[in-house]
């Protein structure tokens, strides 16, 4: 008996006639497997991701991601440039979290060279990293709503994101690829009234999170599409090397900002949201989505504390030695909590100003590895819900 026939017999007997039921029980129903290409130009694959689905009717038997459509030799480029020149290339990896990518590479080089960063620069780094975390999660939430057939949340999310991009533009002149956080600190101090404008945004934005929940998170149709779908157990999440909301959505309380803090994160008070199975099974698509919503609330808490600290912390924001730093004959691996998980850079020096080796550990690349395991034996209509809940950015997967 095929999977489709078995499923119909068990879960939807009301749609079967007596002849259908008799044919199924006698094993006379025959179905044929089919290969379906989902992408690389598909509205719910979040970039040029191609997934080859082996299907039996509406059931997915296997899902194999095919990547590489955006490969640009990013790591090889890093072995031919001085570290401060490579910062703009990190923006293009996870282009929805450019500030966080800048920070990860800058911290790796600073650990390798022992370069000191001022207290004021560290606070500014926290502010821009958390603003970018909110902006990234807003895109994730809005795009996920589109995947599930809801158009309005996408407009709401981009409305709020524009305020954050205005803040970024006021500081560095760019709205997507920033190169603002650099080796030795940040490229320039925040402009006048930045703190006041940022506070105004937080006062405006915080109540909007409840609006998102009423609009999408608790929407009956959205819950039906995401709860008990694509369940990832804590054990599977750890076994496949998942990090970020994909790991925390399965109930694992692991956040590098708490476990291995940098930039003074240990001085800030905030919680680590985890999946609790509020609408279905813990570790389902809804949990992974809702962890991101809760993380935006925690980022607001961190930002309010950081803005208070910035007011009372004068000083320089950049160590000028970052432009001429020589990399010792040593190696370092350093990672931070990117909006999508743990982003790390492995940098090897040989005594010159150019790295001998650069390697990135991208969270989207690792999170994508569980696709086949979690999509297997689900319905074809659930594939967009599952892939969307993983929240991959293909620029960082392919690099």
Mean pLDDT of the 186-199 span? 92
The answer as to whether 80 is a domain residue is: yes
Between CA 365 and CA 386 the distance in angstroms is 15
Asked whether the predicted pLDDT for residue 145 surpasses 80, the reply is yes
The answer as to whether 109 is a domain residue is: yes
Residue 45: predicted pLDDT = 78
Confidence of residue 323 (pLDDT cuts 50, 70, 90): confident
Q: Helix, strand, or coil here: 333?
A: strand
The answer as to whether 217 is a domain residue is: yes
Sheet containing 33-38, strands listed edge to edge, beginning at the edge strand earlier in sequence: 33-38, 50-56, 59-66
- Burial status of residue 164 (CB atoms within 10 A of its CB: 0-12, 13-18, 19 or more): buried
The answer as to whether 9 is a domain residue is: no
> What does the pLDDT look like over 293-309, one tens digit per residue?
999 999 999 999 999 99
Using alpha carbons, select from 374, 315, 362 the residue that is nearest to residue 105: 362
The answer as to whether 212 is a domain residue is: yes
> What does the pLDDT look like over 29-42, one tens digit per residue?
566 788 888 878 88
The separation between CA 377 and the C-alpha centre of its own chain, rounded to angstroms, equals: 25
- Burial status of residue 127 (CB atoms within 10 A of its CB: 0-12, 13-18, 19 or more): buried
Q: Structurally, how many domains does the chain consist of?
A: 1
Asked whether the predicted pLDDT for residue 1 surpasses 80, the reply is no
Quote the domain boundaries for residue 230.
74-398
For the whole prediction, is pTM greater than 0.95? no
**CA gyration radius, the chain:** 23
The answer as to whether 39 is a domain residue is: no
CATH code at position 140:
1.10.645.10
CB 385 within 8 A of CB 146: no
The answer as to whether 50 is a domain residue is: no
The answer as to whether 172 is a domain residue is: yes
């Amino acid at each position: 008996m095929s999977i489709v026939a078995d499923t119909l017999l068990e879960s939807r007997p009301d749609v079967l006639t007596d002849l259908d039921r008799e044919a199924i029980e006698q094993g006379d129903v025959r179905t044929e497997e089919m290969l379906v290409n989902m992408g690389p130009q598909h509205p719910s694959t979040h970039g040029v991701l191609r997934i080859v689905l082996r299907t039996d009717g509406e059931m997915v038997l296997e899902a194999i991601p095919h990547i590489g459509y955006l490969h640009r030799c990013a790591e090889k480029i890093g072995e031919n440039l001085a570290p401060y020149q490579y910062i703009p290339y990190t923006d293009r990896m996870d282009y929805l979290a450019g500030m966080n990518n800048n920070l990860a590479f800058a911290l790796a080089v600073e650990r390798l060279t022992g370069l000191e960063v001022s207290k004021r620069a560290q606070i500014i780094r926290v502010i821009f990293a958390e603003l970018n975390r909110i902006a990234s999660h807003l895109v994730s939430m809005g795009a996920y709503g589109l995947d599930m057939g809801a158009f309005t949340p996408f407009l709401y999310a981009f409305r709020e994101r524009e305020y954050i991009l205005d803040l970024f533009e006021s500081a560095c002149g760019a709205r997507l690829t920033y190169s603002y956080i650099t080796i030795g600190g940040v490229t320039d101090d925040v402009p006048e009234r930045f703190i006041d404008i940022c506070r105004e945004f937080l006062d405006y934005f915080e109540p909007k999170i409840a609006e998102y929940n009423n609009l999408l998170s608790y929407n009956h149709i959205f819950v039906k599409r995401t709860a008990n779908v694509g369940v990832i157990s804590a054990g599977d999440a750890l076994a496949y090397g998942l990090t970020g909301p994909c790991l925390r959505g399965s109930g694992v309380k692991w956040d590098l900002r708490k476990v291995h803090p940098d930039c003074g994160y240990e001085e800030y008070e905030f919680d680590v949201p985890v999946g609790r199975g509020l609408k279905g099974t813990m570790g389902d698509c809804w949990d992974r989505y809702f962890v991101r919503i809760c993380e935006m609330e925690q980022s607001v808490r961190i930002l309010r504390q950081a803005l208070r600290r910035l007011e009372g912390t004068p000083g320089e924001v950049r160590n000028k030695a970052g432009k001429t730093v020589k990399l010792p004959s040593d190696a370092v691996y350093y990672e931070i909590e990117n909006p999508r998980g743990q982003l790390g850079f492995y940098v090897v020096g040989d005594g010159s100003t150019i790295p001998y080796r650069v390697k990135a550990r991208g969270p989207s690349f690792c999170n994508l590895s569980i696709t086949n395991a979690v999509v297997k034996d689900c319905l074809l209509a659930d594939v967009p819900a599952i892939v969307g809940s993983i929240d991959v950015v293909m620029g960082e997967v392919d690099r």
